[in-house]
Amino acid sequence: MKTLDPTVATGPLAGAGAPSAGQRPGSRRPIVKWLAVSVAAMLAAAALSICIGGQPSSLQDVWHAVTAPDGNVMDVTIRELRWPRTVLAVCAGICLGLAGTLVQGHTRNPVADPGLLGINQGAALAIVAATALAGEMPALTQALLAFAGALAASVLVFMIGSAARHGSTPVTLVLAGAAVTALCSGLVAGIVLLNDQALDTLRFWQVGSLAGRSDVLSMVWPFVGAGVVLALLNIRPLNALALGADTATSLGISVFRARAAGIAAVTLLAGSAVTMAGPIAFAGLLVPHITRAMTGPDYRWLIPLSAVTGATVLLLADTAGRVISRPGELSVGVVLAVVGAPFFVYLARRRRLATL
């Protein structure tokens, strides 16, 4: 009779941090290589973002603007416009990549993204309602309202999802998110029909953009940092929850605390991304699948690589938008929608029936 090596985990236990069957200690090297390649791709995408714009520039121009600026037009463009925008894209991409991975992990839904928890529509509702009541507001006030709306919507989703008899489950979270999203969308539509000024304000919050938003970063970075820390602390619980709630409990994981921490991280990260760049769709859907293809289901690698990949995807999409419609620009939200919609269709056809 064949005996099993107790040091080797097989089946679903391989996703909880134990090595899978046949895995050797040296098999981590490909994942480390993927991480190095992803970091290099992010740096290359950042360089492209700084060099490419309405007026193309070279790396020499960038070096001159950084080390010895003399106030010429290109120096001002790079230092005052492109550099802050690139930093904003990196931060927003990290937030969206991590938030998408956490949402798919906690809902166990391969076609989920942060908008599933009502975060985007909650931010839009707060902005539209405040504009209808108080008129046009400065960008910083809008950013604060967007974050407050995103936070309120996600907390409401978690409260509704946790009110079920068996507590919060992937199914109750998805259903609660769909209900809150529909409610916020209906309220936004009603307000917009009655207020033309609210309609003008809503245009930005319907299609995300990185243009002219760099001043918001100084306000949201503490929330971004807190969200990243919570995401890293969620790695072990997510690996356990992938085996099922009962198995996670037997491993000493509190399912309620794990999901509460996960929802809190998603709220901070996705709320910060909405505040910085508006509701950018599909980034939270695309990034986890791209990353999972490189690392597999182990969240010890999936979480950090999702942050790097998210930044790369947003940088490339923003740069492509500036190239496609020169001398103007195409919103990063539109570029990602054009790329993400076919991917979504492919994903739905490949999986046919996505299990929760």
Which pLDDT tens digits describe the chain residue by residue (356 residues)?
A: 444 443 333 333 343 344 343 344 445 677 788 888 999 999 999 988 888 877 777 778 778 787 777 777 777 778 878 888 899 999 999 999 999 999 888 887 777 788 777 887 888 888 888 888 887 777 677 777 878 888 888 888 878 877 766 666 767 777 888 888 889 888 888 887 777 767 766 666 666 777 767 777 888 888 899 999 999 999 999 988 888 878 888 888 888 888 888 888 988 898 888 888 877 878 888 899 889 888 888 899 999 999 999 999 999 998 888 888 777 778 888 888 888 778 777 766 765 444 44
- Residue 231: give the domain boundaries: 30-118+207-351
The answer to whether residue 3 sits within a structural domain is no
pTM of the predicted protein model: 0.80
Give how many domains the chain has, as a whole number. Answer: 1
Residue 144 is assigned to a structural domain of this protein: no
CATH number, domain of 41, equals 1.10.3470.10
Give CA–CA dist 94/83, Å, rounded: 17
C-alpha 272/C-alpha 250 separation (Å) is 35
Give me the pLDDT at residue 130, please.
85
Closest residue by Cα to residue 108 from 33, 172, 52: 172
CB 181, CB 173: distance < 8 Å:
no
Is 179 exposed, middle or buried, given 0-12, 13-18 or 19+ CB atoms closer than 10 A? middle
Is 160 inside a domain boundary?
Answer: no
- Phi and psi at 7, nearest 5°, equal -85, -5
Whether 313 is covered by a domain: the verdict is yes
Query: H/E/C letters for each residue in 30-58?
Result: HHHHHHHHHHHHHHHHHHHHHHCCCCCCC
- pLDDT the model gives residue 284: 87
Contact call for residues 114 and 100 (beta carbons, < 8 A): yes
**Residue 108 phi/psi, 5° resolution?**
55, 40
Does 269 reside within a domain? Answer: yes
- Residue 194, classified by CB atoms within 10 Å of its CB into exposed (0-12), middle (13-18) or buried (19+), is exposed
331 found inside a domain: yes
d(CA 136, CA 198): 8
In a domain, 24, yes or no: no
139 lies in a domain?
no
Please tell me the predicted confidence (pLDDT) of residue 149.
Answer: 87
Residue labelled with tokens 């974050």: 147
Question: CB-based contacts of 75: which residues, under 8 Å, 6+ apart?
Answer: 64, 65, 69
